[in-house]
Amino acid sequence: MNRTPQVAVAGEIFVDLIFSGLDEWPQPGKEIFARNFHRELGGGTAITACALASLGTECGVFACVGRESFDWIVRRLDDFAVINELSVDPCEPTAITVAATQPQERAFLSYAGANRAFDAVFLDALRAGRRIASRHVHMAFPPRLEVAVELVERLHAQGCSVSLDVGWREDWLTDARAIEVLPHFDIFFPNEAEASRITGLDHPEAILKWFASRAIDRVALKLGAQGAALLWNGQIQSVPGRAVNAVDTTGAGDCFDAGFLHEWLNGKSPEDCLRTANICGALSTEALGGLNALKSESWLRMKSQKEGS
């Protein structure tokens, strides 16, 4: 990075190959054809960072990529004015995800590639005292549980708050050690399926009360088309879903994270943070891929309204 940004998103980057316009889901031994194809920069790291930058928060990315797509990734991040610190893996390609998507559902097939090196690179950087942000670090990956507390403590010692979105990683979500790690983070961003996998519960209020009972005090719970719910220092609130013309749900949760963090870092109330996050998550579904919606008229109108309020 040429300078230390206010916010950094650290984690996994993917090249997303997105197939849409499907009449049915792929089945073993059967070929189907998509009506649409789109290649895009993906993964929660890139999407959250670009969404934050598009909302006006100075943001950087700390990630590992392959040499073959390095230049394209840098150009794509530059499109959103995201500062990058990318470590190039000499042997592995950038991680790849093939996404089959329908308006309300999607399925993924991924190869980890250069992301396999990320844990070690990130830990080594923090142990060496490197600052990757001046105010906040959002961790968009499942940190190894044996070093997760160390990562958070080192970032806190640098004066940064820390949030977490692990995505769907069943081995992480079902490991009992995760319950001991989560209280160390300032905000946790699971979706309903991830939170249910951790808690064994289905109802949003019950899930949030379960987290509160284990000193996990700030949880923004993403409920898809049903909206979102929030646990904030013992208080629980919710917002309903927002009607949109959904095309692709890829990146909706990552844009939700960005909307919440943008408002929180600008001193807004938890209620305002949740409302904006819900809007950002919904609007992101109106275009293919996790980034295209950030240039849409709906997104730019929302941003203008927020700036004028």
pLDDT, tens digit, 9 for 90 and up, residues 153-178: 999 999 999 999 999 999 999 999 99
Quick check: 309 pLDDT over 70?
A: no
What pLDDT was estimated at residue 27?
87
Residue pLDDT, tens place only, 25-84: 888 999 999 999 989 899 999 999 999 999 999 999 999 999 999 999 999 999 999 999
Residue ranges per structural domain of the chain: 7-22+34-303
pLDDT score for 104: 67
Q: Which among 223, 227, 184, 186 is positioned nearest to 207, based on CA atoms?
A: 223
Q: How many CB atoms lie within 10 A of CB 101?
A: 24
Give the pLDDT of residue 308.
66
Q: What is the CATH number of domain 7-22+34-303?
A: 3.40.1190.20
Mean of pLDDT values over 262-273: 97
Instruction: Tell me the pLDDT tens digit for each residue of 94-107.
Output: 999 998 887 667 78
Is the pLDDT at 2 greater than 90? The verdict is: no
Residue 1 has pLDDT above 70, yes or no: no
Token pair 């050690």 is found at 177
- pLDDT (tens digit per residue) in 16-40: 898 989 988 888 999 999 999 989 8
DSSP per-residue codes, 100-125: EEETTEEEEEEE-GGGGGHHHHHHHH
